[in-house]
Amino acid sequence: LIIFDRDGTINLDPNGYTHLKSQCKIYDDVFSFFSSLDTNINICVITNQSGIGRGYYTEKDMHEFNREINKILRLKTMHRGIDHFFFCPHVPSDKCNCRKPSNQLVKRALEFFKCKPHEALLIGDKLSDFEAGSSAGVKSILLNREKKLDLIKLNNLNVDSCDSLDFNYFNKYLV
Say whether 5 is catalytic.
Answer: yes
CA–CA distance from 67 to each of 24, 27, 34, 132, 164 (Å)? 10, 16, 16, 24, 24
State residue 83 phi and psi, 5-degree precision: -75, -35
* Helices and strands (H and E) in the chain: how many: 7, 6
Catalytic residue among 7, 94, 150, 160: 7
CA 80 to chain centre: 17
> In sequence order, which residues have a C-beta less than 8 Å from that of residue 125 and are 6 or more positions away?
5, 8, 9, 142, 143, 144, 145, 149
> Which residues are the active-site residues?
5, 7
